[in-house]
Amino acid sequence: MINAASISHDDTSSNRKRSLRAKFQLIGPAFSDIVICIIIGLIFTILPAFALQPYRRGFFCADETIRYPYKHSTVTTIELYIILLSMPILTIIATEVFRIITLSRSEPIMSTLVNKSCDLTVRFITFFAHCFFGLLLTFALTQTTKLAVGRLRPHFIDVCKPNITLTSCSNPYVYILDYECQGGTERLVKEARLSFFSGHSALSMDVAVFCVIYMQARLPRRIYGVTVLPVLQASLLGIALLIGLSRISDYKHHWSDVVVGFLVGSAIGYYSAVILGKVFERSDAKLQVESKIGAAETRPEDTTRPLSFVSPMAASLTTPPIATQVPHQQSNDIITNNPHHNSS
């Protein structure tokens, strides 16, 4: 009895150790990823705001591209952040809930969502984490480029009001570098030197491209028709395009700043979805299991089919029999020509 009790105690303690080790292996990498993301966000938020200054660039007196009036943003920074967070959150939740409901047709909707709430939570955290990390990469690259290039915004002259005289601009093709800004606050003047490239365009396009690729990988091609999915994807891209184009009409960026922002955001959105998140690989592996589960469920229309009915997908997945069936007419010919067959 003593030996059995001690053995049972040892097994229990070893199981606890293995359980703790497994939990640490899951929590440890996730915790380190969170810490890294926080550090990246703090570095590229605090340093550019308080410690770093953009490259001081001069201008030509005849440069009309920097003489537009100052306007308030159509899409403010706070509104942009709300869009950037709500777009992937709503897209991922709606997509995963739709998949769970459509793949579990024989069960009630509420019980299905409750039973698979853990899977839904894990998928949401996984995909949203990849999208958020792509946002951090875009933000870091945008901040670094803005400070390094120091391109003047279209409203620079209106905000800066440089202390240049008519003598200094007697030759419109002289590059003015020795000047001081007399108008606007220090923050506005600093922001007026951060035109390239557009952060609004890059961040919004990054999220839109990620969501479009994610939906392409996780949703079926037909959702109550063939046009629903393309319309949803085009709507997400349209929101990103409108945000970027508003920066041109608000005189916050040159058109080239917005175009480069779109390209950078698209590249990082593709990277975070396909290469980092592996949405197509995850979907392929998952759909192999889910398709078997869905095929095993009885659908209402299946009761009207004959017992010998085989769907095209199931027929393509089944192994063809080794022996081939001989046609009826050919079998009669074989029997007739058989020398051992006695015809009546």
pLDDT in tens, the chain (344 residues): 455 555 555 566 666 666 656 655 656 676 778 788 889 888 998 988 888 999 999 999 889 999 999 999 999 999 999 999 999 999 999 999 888 887 666 555 555 555 666 778 888 888 999 999 999 999 999 999 999 999 999 999 999 999 887 667 888 888 999 899 998 789 999 999 999 999 999 999 999 999 999 999 998 877 777 899 999 999 999 999 999 999 999 999 999 999 999 999 999 999 999 999 999 987 644 444 444 444 444 344 444 444 434 444 444 444 444 444 444 444 444 444 444 444 43
Between CA 16 and CA 25 the distance in angstroms is: 14
Using CA atoms, how far apart are residues 70 and 121, in angstroms rounded to an integer? 45
Task: Return the CA Rg of the chain.
Answer: 32
Closest CA to 9 of 17, 24, 21: 17
Q: Can you list the positions of beta strands (E) in 224-292?
A: none
DSSP 302: G
Alpha helices in the chain (DSSP H): 2-46, 77-103, 109-115, 117-149, 156-160, 186-191, 199-218, 228-249, 255-270, 279-296, 312-317, 328-337
Q: Which residues contact 29 (CB under 8 A, 6 or more apart)?
A: none
Encoding tokens for residue 270?
Answer: 């593709």
Cis peptide before 280 (omega within 30 of 0): no
What's the helix, strand, coil split of the chain in %, to 5? 70, 0, 30
pLDDT value of residue 314: 43
Torsions phi, psi for 60 (to 5 deg): -95, 140
Q: How far apart are the first and last CA of the chain?
A: 84
Q: Which residues contact 312 (CB under 8 A, 6 or more apart)?
A: none
Active-site residue set: 200, 253
DSSP 8-state code for residue 252: S
> What type of residue sits at position 212?
V
3-state secondary structure of 59: strand
Per the CB < 8 A criterion, the answer to whether 264 and 200 are in contact is: no
How far is Cα 214 from Cα 41, in angstroms, rounded to an integer? Answer: 24
Q: Which helix (H) or strand (E) holds 313?
A: helix 312-317
The two tokens of residue 237 are 């891209």
Task: For the chain, give every domain's residue range.
Answer: 20-51, 74-152+194-295
Distance of CA 106 to the CA centre of its chain: 31
